Structure 1
Amino acid sequence: MSEKQITILIADEMHPSLFPMLDEAKIGYHYAPNMTRQELLAQIHAFDGLFIRSKTNVDQAILDAAPALQFIGRAGAGLDLIDLDATQKRGIPVFHAGEGNRDAVGEHMVGMLLNLLANISKADREVRQGIWHREENRGYELGNLTVGLIGYGNNGRATARRLSGFGCPVLCYDKYLTHYGDAYAQEATLEQIMAQADVLSLHIPLTSETKLMINDFFVDRFAKPFYLVNVARGEIASLSAVVRGLQSGKIRGACLDVLENEKLSKLTPEQQTAFDYLRTANNVVLTPHIAGWTHESYVRINEVLVRQLLAILS
């Protein structure tokens, strides 16, 4: 790979800091953030690598059109846009920049949770309307709650570090790790989290195994009512199941940075009913998939991508 200049097709929008990094590494690139799928299919054959963010779906058809493809980089944490079975069969390395936005995700999770526990958004709306309710907005302290984290990779660990300053017990569960507990979180089974947690926060990728994992059965298995935080992927949690949990009181409140369907103009009737409930509920905090979307992470993601690329090339 070092005998000729590597060329990368960058098919999604990237922070401009990426380009001087690639120039310094003497890596060629073609930046086409507005490229359509048909254009991608027609041009990908000429490139050694592909960088994507959130727009481009790399499926078998794309891979078939890219006989020279030697690596795929994802500017973000999740790899659900890439057919990993197909890339593995081809022996194409796939890497992501989970390190790049982990601090942003951790801060956002804590911010959403504090907002919910202290009724900040609700109280803000009321005060703007001239309503001054103190007792009705009495909140809860995070330090008295046990937090359970499902997934203890980059984002889970960064979140646990930020929670440590509040003095709350933190339990972590990761099916694919061993001996992963640390100074910030105690390793636990999923059953232990369900028995003890007052807060459940998701830090897992979207896979066939985790899709709609948060369903009625999952919620009912918790020993006590809990707060749900999802800063991972929307399709991990059924919106209807979340609403039923809120209505029954089993879910005390929800912080949702991601939704099962984020194309709000194309919700199914069931999803629309659930969303209409969520957006009017005082014990729900919603943000538009921005947990990892800070000015700093936008640059840091590029740094991680280029560092991993150079490691592969070397």
Structure 2
Amino acid sequence: MQSHKKKILIIDTMHQSIIPLLEDLDFDVDYKPKITRQEIIDTLSEYVGIVVRSKTTIDAELLQNAGKLKFVARAGAGIDQLDVRVLENRKITIVNAPEGNRDALGEHALGMLLCLANKINVGDLMVRQMVWDREGHRGFELKDKTIALIGYGQMGSAFSEKLVGLSCNVIAYDKYKSGYSSLLVKEASMQEIYEKADVVSFHVPLTEETRNLADKSFFLNFRKNIVVLNTSRGEVLNLKDLLDFLEEGKVKCAALDVLENEKLDQLTDEQKAVFQRLIQMENVLLTPHVGGWTFESYERINQILTDKISKLSY
């Protein structure tokens, strides 16, 4: 007997809880993490919803047969792989889950900052090589330092929460928000950030406006030599310009959870040259885009998504 339930397609590997959660909402769930892009195009006409992590871009080509599609659920925070204009024109709702991995991201950003401040990664490597150099690994304290956040959404606010108790001054600039000063953070202008920041941490989505936001002209504005953290998107920060300032000392050290091109086997010659410079720097800390990638967030994202899907009206 043919089911009359609304069908939803999952095209990426997800925590196993996603299927029963969606079935509880009376969906007929097709879990196909190995599906190809062409197969998605060919079968999307059957579905009212699609759940995606990062497998493929949701654009006009993919949606050519999606006559029934009412929503796209992004299992994570960023929606840069979704063509928002096309989806809005087709009246397809976008659902994402920044609340699901905000705590994971905040903890990771704090961990990276503490690691840089105390040279933990370099010190560990040296001891393993039988080098016991205390003076060479003297760190700096976060107390009384000014931590500047660029963007104060779910991720920026989560990081500010994790900084409580370290007696640092947290300021934030968000072009699209105001009135968010609290015990956690002080709302600031970019001019204040340029003047006061000891540490600059990026928490903005990737858009045409934020692409290449942190370039040579950006770094030249800072009065102090700064520490840079990027846990947002790699394309927000011009890596070549960052490296130049690291070599000059204008940027004292940097922690990067994201890169402009994270497919390391597909780097262009220019990107390879930049990457080789990057990995030779002891004052650079790298992680493989795992800022929001914990066991807890993996499951929590599903709970957030399905809760938001349950509230949709279509």
TM-score over 0.5 (shorter chain):
yes
Does 2:71 correspond to 1:71?
yes
1:98-155 Cα deviation digits (max 9, x unpaired): 0000000000000001001100000000000000000110000111310000111111
Is residue 124 from structure 1 mapped to residue 119 from structure 2 by the alignment?
Answer: no
Tell me the residue number matched to 2:157: 157
Once residues 165 and 20 of structure 2 are traced to their aligned partners in structure 1, the CA distance between those partners, rounded to angstroms, is 38
Could you tell me which amino acid in structure 2 is paired with residue 77 of structure 1?
A
CA deviations over 1:172-218 (Å, ceiling 9, x no partner): 11111121222201000111111110000001100011111111111
Contact 1:150/1:203 (<8 A) preserved? yes
Q: TM-score, normalised by structure 1?
A: 0.97
Give distance in 2, aligned partners of 1:72 and 1:23: 17
Q: Letter of the aligned partner of 1:269 in structure 2?
A: D
Structure 1 residue matching 2:297: 3-state secondary structure: helix
Q: Is 1:206 matched up with 2:206?
A: yes
CA contact (8 A) 1:12 1:52 kept: yes
Give 2:265's aligned residue.
Answer: 265
Counterpart for residue 176 of structure 2: 176
Q: Which moved more, 1:18-27 or 1:297-306?
A: 18-27
Q: Give the alignment of 1:144-293 within 5 angstroms.
A: 144-293=144-293
Equivalent position amino acid for 1:116 in 2: L
* Structure 1: gaps of 5 or more residues: none
CA contact (8 A) 1:50 1:73 kept: yes
Deviation at 1:53, TM superposition (A): 0.3
Please name the residue that 1:88 is paired with.
88
**Aligned AA for 2:91?**
G
- Structure 1 residues 18-33: aligned runs within 5 Å: 18-33=18-33
User: How many angstroms does 1:12 deviate by?
Assistant: 0.9
Q: Secondary structure at the match of 1:218?
A: helix
Q: Separation in 1 of the partners of 2:74 and 2:227?
A: 31
Q: Could you tell me whether the CA contact under 8 Å between 1:12 and 1:56 is conserved in 2?
A: no
- State the alpha-carbon separation in 1 of the partners of residues 66 and 97 from structure 2: 23
SS in 2 for 1:77: coil
Q: One-letter code of the match for 1:60?
A: A
- State the one-letter code of the partner of 2:102: R
Q: Match for residue 41 of structure 2?
A: 41
Shift of 1:171: 0.4
Greater helix fraction, Structure 1 or Structure 2: 1
Letter in 1 for 2:180: Y
Query: Runs of 4+ in structure 1 displaced over 2 angstroms?
Result: none
Q: Could you give the per-residue CA deviations for residues 18-40 of structure 1, whole angstroms, max 9, x where no partner exists?
A: 11111222222111111111101
Displacement of 1:270 after TM fit? 2.1
Cα distance between partner residues in 2 of 1:271 and 1:254: 18
Q: Cα gap change, 1:6/1:181 in structure 2, threshold over 3 Å: closer, same or farther?
A: farther
Aligned with 2:9: secondary structure? strand
Deviates more, 1:159-168 or 1:271-280: 271-280
Partner of 2:15: 15
How is 1:296-311 mapped onto 2 (pairs within 5 angstroms)? 296-311=296-311
Tell me, yes or no, if the aligned pair for 2:178 and 2:187 is still in contact at 8 Å: no
Distance 2:190 2:5 in 1: 48
The alpha carbon displacement at 1:269 in A equals 2.0
Conserved 8 A contact 1:71-1:93: yes
Q: Which amino acid aligns with 1:281?
A: M
Cα distance in structure 2, aligned partners of 1:247 and 1:156:
28
The alignment's TM-score, normalised by the length of structure 2, stands at: 0.97
Q: % of aligned pairs identical?
A: 43
Q: Give the stretch that moved more between structures: 267-276 or 298-307.
A: 267-276
How far apart are the structure 1 equivalents of 2:165 and 2:55?
A: 37
Residue 243 of structure 1, CA deviation? 0.4
1:7 CA displacement: 1.4
Q: Measure the CA separation in 2 of the matches of 1:265 and 1:284.
A: 21
Gaps of 5+ in 2: none
